[in-house]
Structure 1
Amino acid sequence: MKIFVGFGDYPLTTKALKEAGAEIVDSLEKAEGFVFTQTPGTEFPLLPDGVRWVQFPNAGLNAYFTAGQIDDKRRWSNASGVYGQQVAEAAMALLLGLIHMHPTMVRADSWAPSTQIDQQTRWLDGATVAIVGAGGIGKHLAAMLKPFGAKSLAVSRTGTPTQDFDATEPISNLHQVLADADHVVLCVPLTADTYHLIGKAELKAMQSTAILINVARGEVVDTEALVDALDAQEISGAGLDVTDPEPLPDDHPLWGRSNVIITPHVANTLTSMDRMLAPVVAENYRRFLAGEKMLTEVDIHKGY
């Protein structure tokens, strides 16, 4: 099968495809399969009719669905779960940094806040962390929480129990989960159902001592409602690897707060994608040829 890998250079993915038997071609027009590489500034192209399979480098495909670029004429696969461990680690870093009040010391550049930090520092031991999204990121995060003595409470569409989490609740019980949790981590895909999943009412439902972590997509949170909740001290803080808008403007009111950490959408980095994608793309290729469901096959009806 002829595969075009572009428009960025993914040498490890290309090598893995060659070893799986694929013929790598130099243009999309010659291809039957297209591995779209994450290259800043490169827009998704109009696909020739001959392309039967498309592999995306990212998990969230909402923008492509919104633009009508994903259809039922082809099979599609994404990177769902591929970067789960890295993103979960980033979520842990944001949460730990906030409960140990690292931004306060960094911004102070002084020993002066020591009394405040001594009085207000918290630990994960004994805490309940709600993980909204029970996919690959959520499962890795739950495993990371265990050594800290924290309980994982997952929120999924159905709430079906799984051994990966200490407890699981359906999305219909979200408000109760938010009220029960000491902290909340968002790692759901962005779809029509999860757009502004966390808004004014949901932030009010959270404990005033709770921290909100978002490693999903910025649009999962109503940014204006988040700013208001922080101003009103309805929640204790927020750790954001993603924002809405993104990039976040320099004069945005979320910047400069001692209870907010913002990272520039680097929970998984562009430079790590090729290495992480290579074995998954090769296996997806094998399964596509065999007529089997791919490891990360997209359900176009669900949007992910």
Structure 2
Amino acid sequence: MTERDAAGRPPRHQAVTGAIVRSASDDATARAVQVGAAAGPIAIVPDAEPRFAEAVTRAGGALAQLSADTRGLVWTSSEGEDELEALLAAHPQISWVQLPWAGVDAFAGLLRRHRDDGRVWTSAKGAYAQPVAEHALMLALAALRELPARVRAGEWVADERGRSLYGADIVLVGAGGIAVELLRLLEPFGVRATVVRRSDVAVPGAARTVTTDRLTEALSTAEVVFVVAALTDGTRGLIGRDELAALPDDAILVNVARGGLVDTAALVDALESGRLGGAGLDVTDPEPLPAGHPLWNAPNCIVTPHVADTEAMTVPLFAERVRANTAAFLGKSRFEGLIDLDAGY
């Protein structure tokens, strides 16, 4: 039965999980941890939003306050690494932890320290892919059509500027749920898409898949680059001066993943020099982006304040992830959004 919202409408978005292309090692990891969680009462901390609580019970889980009996933990704060660390130290019996966001860089230190603790760790990766991919497409189209200058104009300027997305050479840096959904949204435009990822496993909808060591090569013909990778120690600053220099003149960069994936100073220089055709950013480094920062006024640059997936979109999607993983915790299905503790995402 399809779940409906308070107004009786079907959900606007669905998680993008089953379509994500995994490597053989990813599947082996999933099989290994599937049996790692010992089922028991589940606690939601610190904010037991009613829809999250309902998701646990709907899946058949036993919802209870945090205690010595707790075996599953749904952590609902995007911050609080120290608080979560203390909670886990006080409750070593917890065998499954669900984190709230697709990106887990805010918990990177904690995940490293608990890499061998035997717990199952899951995130929301794939859950928010549809709204984020939609936002990424909007940013790309807006930059291609020079909207920053258009919306600021105080007079009619028919300068004939603007380019089309149809038939463009596209690069997606990352191969998770956002990339999968973006490829689906881009199909009507007839783009030629290259995916850059850790492995060279083919991604449906992409003309080719290359490994990260070939990033510069892939960028050399890109008209639009979508940054949709996870932020880890290995990917921080992945798009730096050399990568931006490898892009053709007038290329567009869109980042809806994490600001730290892109060298901000290098991006500002590329935009201000006029060589980069534009940028659409829902994430920045630093974040929040301070008032007066050069990115706010950089040529053909759009900055949105990390709102690709708003609370109205994420709450029902996270509730569904909680329901699915509660069922997995009870041995009824497979966990979604498993965190690879070695890779860090």
Q: Using structure 1 for the length normalisation, give the TM-score.
A: 0.92
> Which ranges of structure 2 fall in alignment gaps of 5 or more residues?
1-39
Find the counterpart in structure 2 of residue 4 from structure 1.
Answer: 43
Find the counterpart in structure 2 of residue 57 from structure 1.
Answer: 100
CA distance in 2, matches of 1:163, 1:39: 32
Residues 160-182 of structure 1: per-residue CA shift (max 9 Å, x gap) = 22323222121111001111111
Alignment of 1:251-270 (within 5 A): 251-270=292-311
CA distance in 1, matches of 2:172, 2:42: 37
Q: In terms of mean alpha carbon deviation, does 175-184 or 161-170 score higher? A: 161-170
Find the counterpart in structure 1 of residue 37 from structure 2.
Answer: none
CA distance in 1, matches of 2:51, 2:255: 30
Distance verdict in 2 for CA 1:301–1:175, change over 3 Å: same
The yes-or-no answer on 1:149 pairing with 2:194 is no
CA distance in 2, matches of 1:28, 1:265: 35
Alignment of 1:1-304 (within 5 A): 1-27=40-66, 31-38=70-77, 44-45=83-84, 46=86, 47=88, 48-67=91-110, 68=112, 70-73=114-117, 74-111=119-156, 113=157, 115-116=158-159, 118=160, 120-290=161-331, 293-304=334-345
Could you say what the CA RMSD is over the residues aligned between the two structures, in angstroms? 2.0
- Name the SS for the 1:261 alignment partner: strand
CA distance in 1, matches of 2:245, 2:308: 27
| Superposition deviation, residue 290 in structure 1 | 2.1
| Superposition deviation, residue 70 in structure 1 | 4.1
> Which ranges of structure 1 fall in alignment gaps of 5 or more residues?
none
Q: In terms of mean alpha carbon deviation, does 226-235 or 51-60 score higher? A: 226-235
- Name the SS for the 1:216 alignment partner: coil
**Contact 1:7 1:42 (C-alpha < 8 Å) held by counterparts:** no
Q: In terms of mean alpha carbon deviation, does 190-199 or 144-153 score higher? A: 144-153
CA distance in 1, matches of 2:132, 2:44: 25
**Contact 2:271 2:299 (C-alpha < 8 Å) held by counterparts:** no
| Superposition deviation, residue 122 in structure 1 | 0.5
- Name the SS for the 2:330 alignment partner: helix
Q: In terms of mean alpha carbon deviation, does 214-223 or 11-20 score higher? A: 11-20
The aligned amino acid for 2:148 is P
**Alignment length (residue pairs):** 300
Residues 61-85 of structure 1: per-residue CA shift (max 9 Å, x gap) = 1221235564332110001111111
Q: Using structure 2 for the length normalisation, give the TM-score.
A: 0.82
| Amino-acid identity (%) | 39
